[in-house]
Amino acid sequence: MEKNTIGSLIWLRLIRFTHISNQLSNDFLKPFGLTTAQFDVLVQIQVYKSLTQSELAQKATVTQGGISRMLSRLEKEGFIRKTQDWKTKYITLTALGEDIVNKAMPHQLAFQSSFFEEALTVEEQKTMYRLMTKVHKNSLKKREYSEINTA
């Protein structure tokens, strides 16, 4: 077996942290009747006001296949509404959806922030944010390159 590089070790730590964070968030969001993925989707809709299903799948942490089932459930629960403009379906939040996001958001932000605030100094948090932003921007470039070359 080949020796891991520092990059692969960082990636493994990020994957493991994300997995644990999502598990804990699912438990944390239960009183709001949401999963972490549903919360992410609702927040994306709140931020962008109106999105197509494919735009939403691109922005959220849900696969293209999973987004369809999730949206059906969120619509059934009254959190979102789908409207059609010619051939394009747009997704927006209902008043109930706005309300649940606004109720859950401060609690979820405090919960997620606690992972970093309890383990890192303010300076370490700033450094981590700066470095993760740099890595994120690079990943977006790679995705754009990949989409161009596979189109």
Report which of 21, 2, 4, 6 is spatially closest to residue 119, judged by C-alpha positions: 21
pLDDT in tens, 133-147: 999 999 888 878 777
pLDDT at 151: 63
Residues of the chain with pLDDT under 70: 1, 151
Q: Crossing angle, helix 36-48 and helix 64-76, to 10 degrees?
A: 80
pLDDT at 57: 81
3-state secondary structure of 16: helix
pLDDT at 58: 81
Domain ranges of the chain: 6-119
Dihedral sign for Cα atoms in the order 28, 33, 38, 43: negative
What does pTM read for this prediction?
0.81
| Domain over 6-119 is classified CATH 3.40.50.300 | no
